[in-house]
Structure 1
């Protein structure tokens, strides 16, 4: 009941503001724009990122900038319902969308076009990843000085074994699984055939999607689309000649190109700006209003597993600390408003101990509320172990999934110490007492213990996955040994349940909780200060007594090395 007077007061103020602005909006009705401009930049989050209510100082945000995919979708639905609106202008600037978010953005654009509206896109420069967004428009424009860096995709595998040897560091690892290539980053002097084959598989899938997009959007055959990619990059003139864009227009001339006229244009000003969505709302007598609700919306909890999995607690983003994630899961379970949980996994794995801690915590929450795991980039090794505790696993089509395997080892830096003039003597009691010593490698007895522990860990991993996926250990073993899959191939292999986007997962989770998925809010648990990535932490995580990890650090493949939280 304490909420009632505050809700009534808030709605009264909203209504008063709406009423006071009505005369001005009525006067502006005749100036309602027929075209609306949006600026797409960066890696758009699914939902608006939390921020300060009042911003003092700092760089101002360009008014047309889209804050999130949710905001953009809401705006497009409003414009699609207005018969006076002809279309939208999309300005692309440094757009760096992950695959799943690009697919979600393309769906929003396609739905708007299906409502009979036009989409015109414009940019100064786009790369291979952003071109499908530019090309999805009904009319594609480029600045006369612009570029289309359409060149295809490249993957670069890295190994450090020889470099480490030159400075006196030697990596000693045992692994279970021929496809568990993570230790190769530290041990090998050349890229293995398995690494190369895995990279080529992902490149083939991604390249096929690009070819299909160009062929569909630009009216080309697949062979012509591949020829266009091979002829890149393009200057603006060559892009126009090749049919990758439909026209070259300066930014100041975009309004005139769309047929807009400025009624208050100064005599010395020949620019006709394209209105923003905020300007459009100012011409609506009764614009969409978010009234405060007496009863709060049902809540969906989102818990991130983002970064290399490590024991203990700490920041988010680069490292997923077990204690932090477990605490967040417990908070989500206790929260009475949270009806379901989405476990947002963006992790290549890490410590076996920490991964199993997370798995047990996920299982406990899943006994109380529906838990759905979702991956839009990487859900590998220990990250996949955490995900299998959920009721279902959803994946973006081209995310990295799997890498069921294990490795364990240490770094020997005795030669480096010798070069530096550092001398040490190790005295032990017990044959394996210096198992973790970095001053020397493994003795035969220690190596046998290492191999035994790695095998035991691998069998445990197989058992846990088999139980979760309703399969036998033998069946999982045929899919495991460190093999990695795209989301689509993981679905065919039975390692994930569904292919979809973040918003679809959220709605499905609420449906599973028997709560309306039409209107709910998302609350993130465990999002804290971000920890910095350091080589020391990376090496320590990779050499943890037992590690379930897929080493994205060794891949330069469309940003798969990034493990940003899903937001």
Structure 2
């Protein structure tokens, strides 16, 4: 009850500010825009981020930028109630969102259109993913110099074995299961049939999704869309002739196209205004009153990046120190009645994942925990997920890859080429097992194979217990097999296919907590940068790995940009690729 005076004071301040500004907004009400401009770029989170009051050195978003799916939904709900508003202009630029977030944005647009409003999409250049979002618009406009990079998806898995041998490096790995193909990246001279078939399965699913979305949005048959994809990419004129866009309009001519230029007016002086300008013309805009009763709270703990032991600062690794502390804090938070474990990880080390799993299980004994993934939740990442009460996924997320491998790189050939001589002296049969000066001795390989088998059996036990299945049933689904979310649900590795917000509401429902107007509290900081080659060559304490080869080795291309589920996931030193920037799907 001590907070009541502060709540009253805060609301009084909001009331005074609203009342003082009302006359000025009334004077501007005649200039209220009939179309409001929004700009979709990058990967906006599901929920609004909490930003520092004085972000020195930080770049501020553009006035029209969509800062979260949540704020976009709230804005369109407000505009839909205004009879003077005809619709919105949705500008798409350098958009990189997973399919699940694209579907969430499309759902927001569909609700807006369902209330009699128009959505006009405009872009300069779009790839597969951005164009599939634009297809939800009533009208798609393209800049005269623009392009539509509608070309489908391609993949370029790597086999570095021969290349490494040429510089004197040999890879020695032991794996459990023919589908655990991650070591093949370093050992094989060609991509295996199993790896190729796995990649092609994901290509087929994403390609089918693209065809369906474009066919529905542009009112074409699937056969027509497939024929168009085979003719891509498109210049602006060819895109117009093919019916992929409705008109070619420069940015300066957009107001005239939308009928905003009055007779005798100057199109150059007419601008499309963002949401902030619209709010300045509403006498009494919605106010975010401080509630007397606190909103329901949900804790979100991200596990994003390679899962490794140790501590971490900024970057792109999910370290045990960061994740375990975040889980403990979420468990202690009495206001958070449930926890969503957001996983975006291709895997990591069994040691680190088991530590995180134990922390998840401890929290799950106190309150409901739902694991959710919309990109990659594979191998060690999936091991962490099975500690949750339920596993929820988007349709096209990568799931599974239950398996283990271990090994090292032998640098003797490289050292010989460089004139470097090293002598290995050891006491103990396996003392030099991870020496880079030579390969494994028969005794060392036998020891390593036994350790990998033990880890694999432990992995099966963990998943079988978490999923309520027998060990043999899980083994039939394991050995490194990778599934999409839809196929993972059919196999029993996933409980539900849905979006992030649905998973959050379900977690609160399990906690018997209200689901309307809930807020999110995020626990856990950014992750450390990771070098895969350094990790595999011995940075990890255990030197055994549970990684998803499809997520690590894939480079799915749509002409100019990598497919976002696996974008830039690969070898930092050998192929010049780096892990993707952390994409926070929620605020907090």
Which category of TM-score, normalised to the shorter sequence, fits these structures?
over 0.9
**Residue 262 of structure 1 contacts residue 272 of structure 1 at CA under 8 Å; is this kept in 2?**
no
Q: CA deviation at 1:300?
A: 1.0
Distance 1:7 1:531 in 2: 42
Distance 1:324 1:278 in 2: 37
Instruction: Classify the secondary structure of the residue corresponding to 1:302.
Output: strand
For residues 18-62 of structure 1, give each alpha carbon's deviation from its aligned partner in whole angstroms, at most 9, with x where no partner exists. Answer: 001111122223332221111111111111223221345665532
Distance 1:235 1:304 in 2: 40
Q: CA deviation at 1:419?
A: 2.1
Instruction: Classify the secondary structure of the residue corresponding to 1:100.
Output: helix
Q: CA deviation at 1:320?
A: 0.9
Q: CA deviation at 1:348?
A: 0.8
In the TM superposition, 1:186-335 aligns within 5 A as 186-261=186-261, 270-315=268-313, 318-335=316-333
Instruction: Classify the secondary structure of the residue corresponding to 2:402.
Output: coil
Q: Which residue of 2 aligns with 1:349?
A: 347
Distance 1:254 1:496 in 2: 45
**Residue 409 of structure 1 contacts residue 543 of structure 1 at CA under 8 Å; is this kept in 2?**
no
**Residue 344 of structure 1 contacts residue 565 of structure 1 at CA under 8 Å; is this kept in 2?**
no
Distance 1:478 1:274 in 2: 57
Q: What is the TM-score of this pair, normalised by structure 2?
A: 0.92
Distance 1:357 1:55 in 2: 35
Q: Which residue of 2 aligns with 1:115?
A: 115
Distance 2:187 2:441 in 1: 18
**Residue 309 of structure 1 contacts residue 355 of structure 1 at CA under 8 Å; is this kept in 2?**
yes
**Residue 315 of structure 1 contacts residue 321 of structure 1 at CA under 8 Å; is this kept in 2?**
no
Of the structure 1 ranges 81-90 and 193-202, higher mean CA displacement relative to structure 2 is found in: 81-90
**Residue 350 of structure 1 contacts residue 542 of structure 1 at CA under 8 Å; is this kept in 2?**
no
Total equivalences in the alignment: 565
Of the structure 1 ranges 546-555 and 491-500, higher mean CA displacement relative to structure 2 is found in: 546-555
Unpaired segments ≥5 residues, structure 2: 557-562, 570-578
Q: Which residue of 2 aligns with 1:556?
A: 555
Q: Which residue of 2 aligns with 1:29?
A: 29
Distance 1:534 1:205 in 2: 28
Q: CA deviation at 1:421?
A: 2.2
Instruction: Classify the secondary structure of the residue corresponding to 1:116.
Output: coil
Distance 2:466 2:314 in 1: 27
Q: Which residue of 2 aligns with 1:184?
A: 184
Q: Which residue of 1 aligns with 2:576?
A: none
Distance 2:417 2:360 in 1: 48
**Residue 252 of structure 1 contacts residue 271 of structure 1 at CA under 8 Å; is this kept in 2?**
no
**Residue 35 of structure 2 contacts residue 272 of structure 2 at CA under 8 Å; is this kept in 1?**
yes
Distance 2:461 2:126 in 1: 46
Distance 1:410 1:538 in 2: 7
Distance 2:314 2:198 in 1: 29
Of the structure 1 ranges 194-203 and 285-294, higher mean CA displacement relative to structure 2 is found in: 285-294
Q: CA deviation at 1:413?
A: 1.2
Distance 1:474 1:4 in 2: 58
**Residue 380 of structure 1 contacts residue 403 of structure 1 at CA under 8 Å; is this kept in 2?**
yes
Q: Which residue of 1 aligns with 2:127?
A: 127
Distance 1:416 1:439 in 2: 10
For residues 328-384 of structure 1, give each alpha carbon's deviation from its aligned partner in whole angstroms, at most 9, with x where no partner exists. Answer: 111111111211111111111111111111111111100001100001100000000
Instruction: Classify the secondary structure of the residue corresponding to 2:374.
Output: strand
**Residue 123 of structure 2 contacts residue 141 of structure 2 at CA under 8 Å; is this kept in 1?**
yes
Unpaired segments ≥5 residues, structure 1: none
Q: 1:226 to 1:186 in 2, by over 3 A?
A: same
Q: 1:529 to 1:395 in 2, by over 3 A?
A: closer
**Residue 376 of structure 1 contacts residue 566 of structure 1 at CA under 8 Å; is this kept in 2?**
no
Q: Which residue of 2 aligns with 1:386?
A: 384
Q: 1:102 to 1:36 in 2, by over 3 A?
A: same
**Residue 344 of structure 1 contacts residue 566 of structure 1 at CA under 8 Å; is this kept in 2?**
no
**Residue 417 of structure 1 contacts residue 423 of structure 1 at CA under 8 Å; is this kept in 2?**
yes
Distance 2:57 2:436 in 1: 50
**Residue 316 of structure 2 contacts residue 526 of structure 2 at CA under 8 Å; is this kept in 1?**
no
Q: CA deviation at 1:509?
A: 1.0
Of the structure 1 ranges 429-438 and 292-301, higher mean CA displacement relative to structure 2 is found in: 292-301
Instruction: Classify the secondary structure of the residue corresponding to 2:89.
Output: strand
**Residue 411 of structure 1 contacts residue 543 of structure 1 at CA under 8 Å; is this kept in 2?**
no
Q: What is the TM-score of this pair, normalised by structure 1?
A: 0.96
Q: Which residue of 2 aligns with 1:365?
A: 363
Q: CA deviation at 1:505?
A: 1.0
Q: Which residue of 2 aligns with 1:86?
A: 86
Q: Which residue of 1 aligns with 2:397?
A: 399
Q: Which residue of 2 aligns with 1:517?
A: 515
Q: 1:506 to 1:227 in 2, by over 3 A?
A: same
Of the structure 1 ranges 302-311 and 557-566, higher mean CA displacement relative to structure 2 is found in: 557-566
Instruction: Classify the secondary structure of the residue corresponding to 2:213.
Output: helix
Distance 1:425 1:458 in 2: 34
Distance 1:545 1:279 in 2: 56
Q: Which residue of 1 aligns with 2:49?
A: 49
Q: CA deviation at 1:529?
A: 6.0
Q: Which residue of 1 aligns with 2:8?
A: 8
Q: 1:88 to 1:539 in 2, by over 3 A?
A: farther
Q: CA deviation at 1:8?
A: 2.3
**Residue 408 of structure 2 contacts residue 536 of structure 2 at CA under 8 Å; is this kept in 1?**
no
Q: 1:542 to 1:136 in 2, by over 3 A?
A: farther
